[in-house]
Amino acid sequence: MNNFTEVYKKTRTVLRNKTFSVDWQDFLQEKCQISDFLGRHGFSESYERTPEHIRDKIKAAVKAGVTTSGDVIYEAATNKSPSKQLERERAASLKMVKHVYHAQKSGGQDVWVYSPPASDSTWVFDEIAGDIATIKARLAREDDIFSISEKAWMCSALMLSKKISEDTKYKLAGKMVDAATKDMVRKWFLDENSTDATLNKAITKLHAGFKKIAICCNSSTLVFTDYPDWRKKRDEYYGGAFRGGEGGGFPVIYLEGAFTRLTGNSGKEWLCAETIIHEMSHHEVSTVDHRYDNQGLKPNKAAFPYTKAIANADSWGYFALDLAGYLSQADSDNTWK
C-alpha cells in the first residue's frame, strides 16, 4: 500500500463486509456501528467513540485472562472460514481502528489521528504477515508513534492554522485589497520582472487557494498520521501530503518527528502552523517544493522567479504567517533571503 487512504478504504471494505467471530461480529455492528463509523468520505464524528469501544473490549479480554492484545485481535478475526488471508485482513482492520483517536479541540473541530505502532515498518495490511506467532506479536504492539501530548499539540497547531488561513483569505478578498497586503504578496512571490498584472494574478490565485485551505482546516474528517517509509529518518522531516489529495474525499496530512519534537515549545507553535499550511497547500492547491525556508524564499528572476514562488509550498506558508502577524522580524530575515 502507498498511503493512508488506501488503508482506510481496505479497512472499510473488510469491516463492513467480512464476518468476525460471533461475539465480535455482533459487537462491531451493534455497539460500534462500524459501518457508519467508516464513512464513504472519512470517519464519522457521530460515532467518535467506536475506536475507544474496540480498545476497551480488547483490554477487558486481556484482563480476563487472554495472554496479549494480539491474541484477542487474532481470535476476534477467526471464524469458521479456513482462509488465513481473510483472517489476516480482519485482524489488520481491527488493529487499524484500534490505533485511531478522535481529538477534539475547542470550537468543535474534529481531528482524527491515526497513531500506529512506531515499531511497524510499513502499512498495517502489509505489516500483519508471517506465521501465527509473528502475526500475534505484531498485533500486540502498543508503542503508538504519537504521544497524548503530541496529539494535543497537533490540535493546537491546527487551531492556529485555521485562524491564520481565515485571516489570509479575508485580507485577499475583494477588489479593494489594501496596500499592506499587496506589499506582502510582492515580498513573498513577485520577482523583479513582475508587473501589476502579475500582482493581481497572484492575489486571485492565493485567495482561491486559501479558501480551500481554510475549508480543509475546518474539515470534520481531517486525518493526521505519519508516513511509514520515513520511519528511519522521521526526525528529519516535518510533514508531507500528496499533491491534489489522495482521492478518498477527506484530507490526510502526514506529520513527522521534527514537527512533534516541538511539543511544549510555545514559541515555535507558528512553525507547526506553517508546516500544516504548507502541507495543506500541497493537498488542496497542488503546490510543489521548489525551495524550503533554509534555502531562502526571496523571489528573484534568476533562480526563484514568480512562476516558481507562486507554486512553492513554503512560500505559501510563510506568506500566510507574515500577513497574519505571526512571523517575527528575525524569522523573516532568516527566511526571506
The DSSP string of 287-308 is -B-S--GGG----BTTTB-HHH
Lowest mean pLDDT among 3-7, 209-213, 231-235, 315-319: 231-235
176 pLDDT higher than 90? no
Question: Cell triple for residue 80?
Answer: 469458521
The C-alpha atoms of residue 273 and residue 258 are separated, in whole angstroms, by 13
pLDDT at 53: 97
Residue with cell 526571506: 336
Beta partners for 312? Answer: 288
The candidate with the shortest Cα–Cα distance to 239, out of 256, 251, 252, is: 256
Q: Is the dihedral of CA 51, 52, 53, 56 positive or negative?
A: positive
| Burial grade of 195 (CB within 10 A; 0-12, 13-18, 19 or more) | exposed
73 pLDDT higher than 70? yes
Amino acid sitting at position 213: I
Amino acid sitting at position 304: F
pLDDT at 106: 55
Q: What is the mean pLDDT of residues 198-214?
A: 97
pLDDT category at 94 given cuts 50, 70, 90 is very high
Percent with pLDDT over 90 in the chain: 77
The C-alpha atoms of residue 156 and residue 154 are separated, in whole angstroms, by 5
The DSSP string of 181-240 is HHHHHHHHH--TT--HHHHHHHHHHHHHHHHHHHHHHT-TT-EEE--GGGGGGGGG--EE
Helix axes 84-98, 69-76, angle to 10 degrees: 130
pLDDT at 83: 76
pLDDT at 236: 87
pLDDT category at 146 given cuts 50, 70, 90 is very high
pTM of the model: 0.92
pLDDT at 267: 64
264 pLDDT higher than 60? no
Please, are residues 254 and 240 in contact by the beta-carbon 8 Å criterion? Answer: yes
pLDDT category at 80 given cuts 50, 70, 90 is confident
pLDDT tens profile 33-59: 999 999 999 999 899 999 999 999 999
Please give the mean pLDDT across all residues of the chain: 92
